Amino acid sequence: MPIQTPDWVKNAVFYQIFPDRFAKSKQPHQGKLSDKKSRVSYNVSFEPWEAPPTLQGYKGGDLWGVIEQLDYLQDLGINAIYFTPIFQSASNHRYHTHDYYRVDPLLGGNEALMALLEAAHRRNMKVVLDGVFNHASRGFYFFNDILENGPYSPWVDWFKVKDWPLSAYDGNKPANYVGWTGNRALPEFNHDNPDVREYLMEVGEHWIEVGIDGWRLDVADEIETPGFWQEFRDRIKGINPNAYIVGEVWGDSRQWLDGTQFDGVMNYLFCAPTIAFTAGDRVQMEYVSELSYEPYPPLDAPGYAAEMEHLLNLYSWEIQLTQLNLLDSHDTARLIAIAGGDRASVELATLLLLTFPGAPSIYYGDEVGIGGGLDPHSRRSFPLEKNWDLEFLHCHKQLIALRHSYPALRIGHYKIVFAQGQTYVFARTLGSSELIVAINAGTASASVNVDSANLQSQPSQILYGSAEIGRHSEGASNYLSLKLPPRSGCILGSNRS
């Protein structure tokens, strides 16, 4: 049976939102926790929005604030949002889930999510939530019952208890249960327990029935119970065949991308070589050396071409078109920090991101120049408008608009036509439409001759960036000539469709 993935993802430009830091509502919801049943509101104080972030502090961003910014996102060209976790949790990042059926009150509760879904769908925007199904938290009711009642708890088999007593907070004593990466705050589920499996399946189904458009699955490769993700896909797709299922897997993901589990993964295999090519020896090793992707050592154009060819041959074309491509995320430093503040590295990488097969994902604030190293600095509050980098914003708007205007940039064939030194050129073709993307990552201008036999058209219009275009012949061969300024890129086209 052929692999099937959601068509809307192939045409999506995602925006990843860390809810506590993107937007704080300016409406009466701000600073209040509302419980519709009790009609009680509580005053809540947050860290100052513009102050540097801390590991444990809250800034007060909420889903009501996101609703107020949907016009901004629509103007940017965004048509899909991926939220890091939004369910009740005792952490600003909310990967410590307390209640899988309740949106965190600090974010506006279930009422705010319902309003957000309605407002986003009215704009034809999709909403994907983060599913943290590998582990829960010490505050999760089922685990908390074990802490209170020990071996007498009816939920003992829901987790991986090794001995008694459990020590959930005292690091001087053995935890006696398995926590994710040894973290006591994140007790791992026992996925071999049929009741645990059914509980998590029902959580996944519930929010799809409510109206979300898909799940991003946290540390998905660490759930190894046979058949778990196959059943998850079957049950989610049984409710909404067009739901997007994307796993967090940082490496070769062939075992999950066989058409029976995920529609795609967070594509760090695109991210790492793209940074290594565009930023080169500017990469700040302190920000990347301990993570499980490697945007180093520097790549020249032939090296980058080899990486892209390997990646594009790794999975089926149907899967390539629904990969979630990215340059940074809440788990990494910001790209501008990784590149040592070099603006051209960011602009060139963004050009490659918006012209590659798969769904590009913009980490909130990258489009206006947010910087920051590793957590918590990569999770800064979205800046006030007076502090936006308007050149970055214009670059993102241009490239996103071109991607939306030219189907070839979304679903067209990808062909490398030149890769020498620091110059990389490829074509995206769909029917009679062909666009040429050229990158000069070097510090000197570059002259390129592309054999016209590798092209199906004669592009003459510069759609993005700058270059000098010419043509010449050598014997029976014809060439497209390009002269590219240092550290620059361009998009050329001839037919608009």
Residue keyed to tokens 């060819």: 309
CA distance 96 to 139: 8
Task: Return the axis-axis angle of helices 390-405 and 343-354, rounded to nearest 10°.
Answer: 20
Name residue, tokens 């692999």. Answer: 3
User: Per the structure block, which two tokens stand in for 30?
Assistant: 């701000």
Residue 481 CB burial class (10 angstroms; 0-12, 13-18, ≥19)? middle
Distance, CA of 13 to CA of 324 (rounded, Å): 9
* Contact by Cβ (8 Å): 325, 234: no
Alpha carbons 309 and 377: distance in angstroms, whole number: 34
CA-nearest of 495, 465, 496 to 482 is 465
Per-residue tokens: 434: 């062909």
Residues in Cβ contact with 238 at an 8 Å cutoff, skipping those fewer than 6 apart: none
Q: Check if 218 is active-site.
A: yes
Compute φ and ψ for 474, nearest 5 degrees. -135, 105
Contacts of residue 421, Cβ cutoff 8 Å, sequence gap at least 6: 300, 301, 442, 446
Q: What is the CA radius of gyration of the chain?
A: 24
DSSP code, position 23: -
Query: Which of 20, 62, 248, 307 does the annotation list as catalytic?
Result: 248
* Helix segments in 211-338, DSSP class H: 228-239, 268-278, 301-312, 317-320, 335-338
Question: CB–CB of 419/396 below 8 Å?
Answer: no
Residues 6+ apart with CB under 8 A from 2: 259, 318
Instruction: Check 218, 307, 367, 434 and give the catalytic one.
Output: 218
Place of tokens 């154009």: 301
Residue 62 annotated to the active site? no
Tokens of 197: 């499996």
CB-based burial label for 27 (10 Å; 0-12, 13-18, 19+): exposed
Residues serving a catalytic function are: 218, 248
